[in-house]
Amino acid sequence: MAGIDFERLNVLIVDDNKHMVNLIKTILHSLGVRNIREASDGADAFMELRNFPADIVFSDLAMSPLDGLEFTRLVRNAKDSPNPYVHIIMLTGHTEFGRLRAAVDVGVTDFLAKPVSAKAIYQRVINVIHNPPAFVREKHYFGPDRRRFREDRLKSDFQRARLVQENTQEGLSEADINELLMQ
């Protein structure tokens, strides 16, 4: 698939919802990913990164005691961070524009709105591997270049996530939702 040896990828899933962890693991296994670890919050994930050289982290936004934003901030900025350059894909059902902006400002690589699909996970993995963002260091920021998240892209991602959340219960397919967005 797309010239990527999925079997060699190391993926860490950080989510306090066991069902979501199992769903993402199942999707990743179907892509061929074999090296998967999991953690139930940001603190456990940070410790896991010390022993597991993750290439990609899928992290939930809302967890306790250390949420996805604090976890990302820690990975990017802590002096003892095992890999400040790891790709962090934020999973969230909270798609308000302010939350997306906050995630960009702490250094996430990309987003996935819940409910997730196999296609969306595949696209994010392909994107971070084939189009890795440049990392920048500024006075108060270290992480992927934030300019790639122009406000119009964040707002369109927000609109799409809202449509998915609102229409999933009504039985609309992803194709139906894409059609709605084109109108």
The residue extents of the domains of the chain are 6-147
Element (H, E) at 176: helix 174-182
Class of domain 6-147: alpha beta
What dihedral angle (degrees, nearest 10) is formed by the CA atoms of 88, 48, 126, 59? -40
Kindly provide the residue ranges of all beta strands, DSSP E only, lying in the chain, ordered along the sequence.
Answer: 10-14, 35-39, 56-60, 87-92, 110-113, 135-138, 141-144
Tens of pLDDT along 10-47? 999 999 999 999 999 999 999 999 999 999 999 999 99
Q: What residue type is 176 in one-letter code?
A: D
pTM confidence score: 0.80
Q: Pairing between strand 135-138 and 141-144?
A: antiparallel
Tens of pLDDT along 109-160? 998 888 888 988 999 999 888 888 889 898 888 988 877 666 555 555 555 5
